[in-house]
Structure 1
Amino acid sequence: MLPMSTFTLFFLVLYAFFSLVTSAPAPLQRDVFVPPVLYPGKGTVWRHGERHNVTWDISNAPAHITNNLGVIVLCREHELLDYEHPLAQDFDILLGRYEIVVPKVPKGSNYRILVFGDSGNTGEAFTITK
């Protein structure tokens, strides 16, 4: 059996530890950011090999974003996205723009840009010519 003073000391240390643990700050709340694509937009025409700044609106970005690394993907207007060949990746989503090189694409399709970090948003349909 422990002497009273040792027991009291043990109890006080244990109490201090639990006080520290329970008074620790709460985990940081992070939010999903879905940036609206501003450019390219309806009526835009890009040519293969040109450089363009894809832009998106960061004015309503939350203070703490779940994933701040962005990816830009080109997709056909009514088809699945090509995640395996992004136009850009691993950039800060809060930049609001990123320069890409227009890829060579099949003729006769409309395209959209998808910008996402932890959630994505597609822009309006536009055209890519050769």
Structure 2
Amino acid sequence: MKFTTAFTTFLTCAFATPALFASATPVAEHELVKRVVYSPHITSPTHRTIWQSGQSVNITWDTSDAPPPDQITNRYGKVEIRWDHTATPFLLASGFDILNGWVQVGVPLVETRYDYSIVLYGDGNNASADFEIDGIPSS
């Protein structure tokens, strides 16, 4: 009995499986949309930039080479600030359309340093050059 049940199950799977694949719609009949990971170049801040804690600033990036919007896998970005290339980043903005080419943020109250950088996330990520924030004097 066990052999008959197992053999029947085997035959059912062996003959049903090709039928399932034969009824599937071929891939060629569907239109595939090319998707790309888009990582725009940050144009501001630059290595000559000095921000003051508490001010509002624009972070900008070049969108001249952007693919069509429907080809970008994630158009909604976030911006983080980091320092010393190892510290845990701090979120400055999120939920904006990276195709805008800019976002306005408030400069956090931080210690004066010369090794801050911005990381722009959306589809991919891109980091700015190191720049300075004039903030709380270091002790």
* TM-score between the two structures when normalised by the length of structure 2: 0.72
Alignment match, 1:98:
103
Alignment match, 2:45:
40
Q: Structure 1 residues 33 and 100 mapped into 2: Cα distance closer, same or farther (>3 Å)?
A: same
Higher relative contact order (CA 8 A, sep 6+): 1
Moved over 2 A (4+): 21-27, 106-109
**What SS does the corresponding residue of 1:86 show, helix, strand or coil?**
strand
Distance 2:86 2:122 in 1: 21
Is the Cα contact below 8 Å between 2:114 and 2:130 reproduced in 1? Answer: no
Give the superposition deviation at 1:106: 2.2
Give the superposition deviation at 1:108: 3.1
Superposition CA RMSD, Å: 1.8
CA-to-aligned-CA distance 1:99-129 (integer Å, 9 cap, x gap): 0000011233420111120211111111001
Is the Cα contact below 8 Å between 1:73 and 1:81 reproduced in 2? Answer: no
Within 5 Å, give how 1:36-75 maps onto structure 2.
36-63=41-68, 64-75=71-82
Is the Cα contact below 8 Å between 1:111 and 1:127 reproduced in 2? Answer: yes
Over the matched positions of the two proteins, sequence identity in percent amounts to: 33
Alignment match, 1:8:
none
The amino acid that maps onto 2:82 is C
Alignment match, 2:11:
none
Which protein is richer in helix relative to its size? 2
Distance 2:79 2:93 in 1: 5
Alignment match, 2:125:
120
**What SS does the corresponding residue of 1:94 show, helix, strand or coil?**
helix
Q: Structure 1 residues 24 and 81 mapped into 2: Cα distance closer, same or farther (>3 Å)?
A: farther
How many residues are treated as equivalent by the alignment? 110
